[in-house]
Every structure is written in C-alpha cells, then in structure tokens.
Amino acid sequence: MKKLLLIVLIFSALQNLHAQEASLFAHYYLDRTFYNPAYAGGIGYPIVHFIYRKQWAGFSGAPETFMLWGNGHIGNNIGVAGRVIRDNTGIFTQTGGSATVSYTVKLSESILDPHRLSFGLSLGAKTYSLNWERLGDLTDPTFYNLHNSWKMDGAFGVHYLYKRLDLGFAFPQLFNRRLNNDFAQNGFVRYFSESVMSASYRFAVGAQQSFHITPLILYKVSQLATSQIDFSVKASYDPNLDDIEEYDPFFWVAYLNRSEYGHIVSSGFKVKNTSISYAYEFGGKGIGAYTSGSHEVMLSYHFGEKKSPPPIEDKPVADSLLAKNTDSTALAQKDSGQVKTDSSAVADKQKTDSLANTASLEAPMLDTEGKQIFPNKPQKGKRVVLRNMNFETGSDKMNPNSNEALDRLAEYLEKNPSVRIEIGGHTDNVGDDTFNKKLSQLRANSVMRYLVSKGIAIERIVTKGYGEESPLGSNDDEDDRAINRRIEMKFLEVK
C-alpha cells in the first residue's frame, strides 16, 4: 500500500511540475504576470510578492512551494519582472528563476478609455533533484536521469486591453513541449497545444465607482496534464480610486472554480505599502479529496520612491488668481455670456457660486523665486489651488512641468506626517457633464499616484472629482475657464 501511494505521489508530482509553470497559484488574479509575461509592468509601480503554497495539506510529501516575484516598469512602455521559485514535492525538488520583459503599444493615450496591446517574453532555467530516501527501492533509470538535471525554458504572451475588457494569450514552456500524436508536429499546432487563454471584464459599481467586480475565465490547454478551466470572480473596494486599473484595492474577496481541482476562496487587504492575501482550496478531486485542502499566502510590498528637496522658507505672496476671483465687484461686472445655456438665471447663480467657492480658499504662498510653498500651520478645511498643474487636453496625463510643484508638495507632506489632504479635480463647463466629472476624478487620481510614488502613504490622500460644479470664475471667457480648470488641495486633518 505504501509503495502504491508513493507511485501515485510520483505521478502527481510530475504533473505538478508541469502545471506549476502557468496557473496553479490561486493568487494569479492579483498579478497576471504569473501566467502571462505580457502583463509585466501593468500594475504601474514596483511591487514584490512572496508566496507560500502548501498543497494537499495532511498528505505526507505533498507539494510545497516558495516563490519570490518582482514586477515593475521602465518608462511608459517597458515592463520588467523576475522570479525565484523552489518547489518541493517530497520526492522531487525544483529550483529555478526567470526574467521577464514586456513592451506596450498604446493605441490610445487616454486613461479614461485605455486601449493598448502588450507583448512579453520570459526566459529562465531550473534544476531538479531527487530525495532518494523517499524513493526507497524504486530505482527506475528515469529517476537517475532526472536527478541533478537542468533545463532552460521561457514563455511568450500577448495582452490586449480595451477600456475594461482584458484579453490574454500565452505560450508557456516554449522549449519543453510534449505532444500526444504525430499529427501535431506542425509548428503552429505544436505551440497551441500548450497555451493559456484568459478573458475578463471589470465592472465599476457605485456613484464614485469605488466597488469593482471582475469576472475572469482562464483556459489552459495541456497535452501532458488535463486541460484546465478556471472561472473566478473578484470583488474589491477602494474609496480613493475611481476606475484606475493599476492600483491594488484596499480590500478584496474572490471565488475561483477550477476544473479537475475544486473550489477556492480568497481574501486580502492592504495597509499602507503592504498587502496580504490568503487562499484556501477545498479538497476537490483526485488526491485532494483525501486531504484537508490546500493553503496559499501572498505577502506583497508596494514600493515608492522618496525624494527630499532642500528646505524652503515660507514667504506669503498674494496671488492674482485668487484676487481675481474674490473681487466681488469684478465678478459682478462680468458679461453674462453663456457657454452651455441661454438662461441668465443659471449664469447669475454661477457667479454667486463663484463667490461662495472662494470662502475657504487661501491665496497661494510663493517663495522669492515665485515657486509655491505651503503653510507651516495649516488650518483644517482650508483649500489651496496647486499652481503649475498642467494636463494634456482631454486626458489625465500630466505634463512634465507639473513634477516640480508636486515634488514640493511631497516634501511638505513628508515633513508634516499628521496632515491628511483631499486632492480635488475641477474642470470648466465645456463639454459633457459626465465626461468632465470623470476626467476631474482621474486627474486628481494622477496627482495622488505621483505623491504615492514619492513615498506619501495613500491613506493620507483622498481624491474627489468635482467636474464643473465648483467654478471660481464665470466660465464666460477663456480666462475664467482657464481658472476653473484646476487642482485644489484641501486640509482634512491637521495637528
């Protein structure tokens, strides 16, 4: 009986060594680079994962896997990733590593409606060793050939994203493919006989679109092991991010049904730069039915770059932008020309709102070089317009000349760790109301992302898109409309 169990374990281990390459990990829904190299760099900032998986708990010699995985990007188009993995099945031990690079072709510059195509390639090597004590008197020559052997391998993938539709296609194990029949010697069939396909669509729920529901289907074709179909649904919540795909949520739960394996439930949360997620796979079929299930834990760290410019001496200077909009006489004398409506009542209300909107607005302070600085003793509820914030027309992509202003703000927040702020995005009234509302939210999110990349904790920043509902000017002419297109900072908590 013991020998029979050992033979079953050997067969299962051989299958596991093959399947582990692509999609056996339960947490691939959090980082799809696990099974498709084209997703490298897609998260938008450097991240490192540590994964521990205990398969078939309670079964002696069952697979146990450790993996360290890094994922990041270089510039706007190149993604990079790398991993080190050790997989111990009790009989076989596999140790390996790989490096991945991806390139993205942006079919649209708009993040409002992202449209891009990515290609990825990974190359690596792995070694195998045997635990002779567990083999006992099983001395098949095949085992001697496997012991201390090594091989190179790689993967190629394609990723297509259109708005919230996400499609992926990958060829794992480029150099180590097995075929069941002679017919499949054709090169095209050869590579499609081992492939991974995925499709998902992300639904945004709620007025602020803070809830996301993402169903995902993954189909793995295999000639060595049984083909695998996964269906999963992830529900996530993030109060600060309106439809920004690159960021991880604050909290998530997921359910996965895996053919030939069983059911998986998973949940996780993020605190500052660290996130942790746990997945439990029920016993399912085969050997798994005689075990207490499989466990998987993923610990992730999200990196941000810190920068410390030299200290700046506060020196308040009046700003013409605020002066213009707090001068009630000047506003009253404005011509009531319309952009969107012929109703003079609406135009008059807009002027009244302009005055009300300046009640908590402070004049920006400038240093001797005319660069913006921030108060040593901020007051709760006060707002400041961030100067020199420029975006591409109709886009949330910041112009490079905005970086210096945000570097100064990041330094200020780093020196005042008790300050919590709101970043508010505002537009003029040209265009569709819904579009302007969403654009203002995405622009506020872009500012937040930049601050987070400089080491500011995401919990200290709230973003809100106001669209055109809080103008400072009347929107009667281009000068006033330029004033209304702005980013504001509001002090939410000060100590």
Residue 289 shares a structural domain with residue 391: no
Assess if residue 310 is contained within a domain: no
Residue 286 shares a structural domain with residue 352: no
Residue 265 shares a structural domain with residue 328: no
Q: How confident is the model at residue 23 (pLDDT cuts 50, 70, 90)?
A: very low
At residue 358, the pLDDT reads 62
Assess if residue 232 is contained within a domain: yes
CATH of the domain at 298: 2.40.160.40
At residue 370, the pLDDT reads 80
Number of domains observed in the structure of the chain = 2
Residue 81 shares a structural domain with residue 143: yes
pTM score, two decimals? 0.63
Q: How confident is the model at residue 121 (pLDDT cuts 50, 70, 90)?
A: very high
Assess if residue 311 is contained within a domain: no
Residue 60 shares a structural domain with residue 134: yes
pLDDT tens figures, 274-305: 999 999 988 766 665 666 788 999 999 988 54
At residue 110, the pLDDT reads 62
Residue 329 shares a structural domain with residue 477: yes
d(CA 170, CA 172): 6
Residue 114 shares a structural domain with residue 263: yes
Residue 352 shares a structural domain with residue 273: no
Element (H, E) at 489: strand 486-493
Domain boundary among 246, 267, 302: 302
At residue 247, the pLDDT reads 52
More confident residue, 119 or 179: 119
Pick from 286, 257, 258, 218: which is nearest to 56 by CA?
Answer: 286
Output the average pLDDT for the chain.
Answer: 76
Assess if residue 127 is contained within a domain: yes
Q: What is the DSSP string of 183-232?
A: GGGSHHHHHHTSEEEEEEEPEEESTT--EEEEEEEEEEE-SSS--EEEEE
Residues of the chain with pLDDT > 70: what percent? 69
At residue 199, the pLDDT reads 97
pLDDT tens figures, 376-421: 888 888 999 998 888 887 788 888 888 998 999 999 999 999 999 9
pLDDT tens figures, 183-215: 444 444 455 557 899 999 988 776 556 788 999
In this structure, the number of other CB atoms found within 10 A of the CB of residue 337 comes to 10
Assess if residue 414 is contained within a domain: yes
At residue 256, the pLDDT reads 94
Residue 334 shares a structural domain with residue 292: no
In this structure, the number of other CB atoms found within 10 A of the CB of residue 142 comes to 10
At residue 300, the pLDDT reads 93
SS3 state at 66: strand
pLDDT tens figures, 299-342: 999 885 433 333 323 333 334 444 444 333 333 333 333 333 34
Domain that holds residue 384: 320-493
